[in-house]
A and B are shown apart, each in its own frame.
Chain A
């Protein structure tokens, strides 16, 4: 059964080949989300991401990795050893059928495969090849060994994330790498953007391309005000607890609520907000002076002292109710506040249920669908994208894909004997 969603057919008919390691898997998944046929070449041992936890049951079972499951939705799995000499004919036929190749990994191994893609482009000049490597395919850092953590460090994310400094301005806590796998998310988002650009250009010219995505540059591109602050004002933003890094210390956003949780109370410190908070305090039965002349005078005499006073009252307000109660009450009055939730909490929230944010997919756990947070847009009523199926088992589509390429059973058996599948 085909699951209908308006933009899940945007790439209908397009064939995307995915090779390499975990760094590019999210990109392949996003192409599957838009309806491309994404064929993942894993080799006989399976992708290394099948060994990345957490695991549904026992560790090291390649069919139980939640990581693999999460980032390979909607794909087909083929165990062809892509670089094996015996795989040349299959590669050639695949190359003439494919629209896009996504390859990720260390620059050396990717570059070795790029030579194979050039061969494929000889017979199919429309082929778009996109590589995702730590630093791109050239440059002095090209061959550095990297992980998600070290990317978030060098790309500037960690320098903006963490906890408040001590009163003397020094830090006793480290910069923080926000969980999880965000460097690869950012790189894959840019890879998808880049491939879409090349697909549109191909419509004009008929030609494919070779795109070289650098994870380091992608992460660097995603640090908001940090770089402009330095470029224009030679200022360095300082990390702060639960709020934006800033040149100068700002007031807290996180407030502890009476259920031991937090609300993020984002504020502009305006008079309007003070008036609304005054209403909320009154409704909660908490005395306050926010509508008094003395508070107005305090704000006029010293805005900072006025903000400090208001800050203390917001703490009191938060301490009087639960996080979700405060979230809804604040939003009802137009404040930009939200409870700090764990992601899975949203599964039971009627808002996300109504929007179809979590798509149930069978596969990993027998007899039970798991809910995946995969929908991020609707057409006003229904989700715009959906996956046709979950992640593939290792080699689940080997024979199907090779047969579609016109490779006979005898040839497939020969590939198996030669260790290519």
Chain B
């Protein structure tokens, strides 16, 4: 209820501080032109919460650097994508051609990402994707000037196939919405599960965004598989996990998923989410110094807990800072900048990572289990997992 007000106040302070900081930076280095960072995130609509988290993370990274890089101030240009793919080319062109943005951080939604990549191809701005997981963004459509600080769909589901087999499950039903992210996740699971020796006995694709799951759950019960692997996110994930429990399946057929099934949703899922096992490249409870500091500072600054999406935004910020610092503030030579970015190791709250040739993080993927409403890390499911980047010629 009152969250808004609690958030607004620190935000106001932060932005005043940011203004003052950037002004003083500007005054002291009069001739320094600002580094322009465009943000293309959803600030309204269903994904507004994700866009806000990514922006907060990005700004926190730059604030830790006093909002300057190599003496140059930062200028943010915020654009609301509304998570609508149709808007992507127009906004991207305006940031690239009119605003001459050095970096564009965005988007959240994979459909928007595809539109952005088409518009930024061969241009002089560098795009950093802080969420959208479509494999093609660092696969068939990969570009020299496109980086991703989040994940590919493949990475988040592939490790679970082997894990499921090692847990002793031989016959599994997979299920997701019938759209890109879901289908890519099921395919990645299928790839490692079948090569380990398991069998996917049934793949169920639910029309997006339908959340009436009863008939599918009845079907799963009649098949009686050893386990179920699903991809659902957000509101659909809440409903699915609750329905799965209410139909009495939870205690009998273990529920596995891509990490988004229980990411930011366990509170709404309540006790139904207890014991659900997922794989993801992050967990709130990750025990490392960087994560602890990051989460503490995020909480102080924004008055709410950090999440996966803020981590990915934060790392986009770190990537910009480290790269521009390495070129000593030179952003005019984009090829040199890209070269630096390719060599960097990002000290992320999820654990340090480097980029693959296709510019996707080579990162740990964790096996997590919901205990007391928290995604607790059981172990590293796969260390330094690199997306196969199928179709990328970089």
| A in complex with B | no
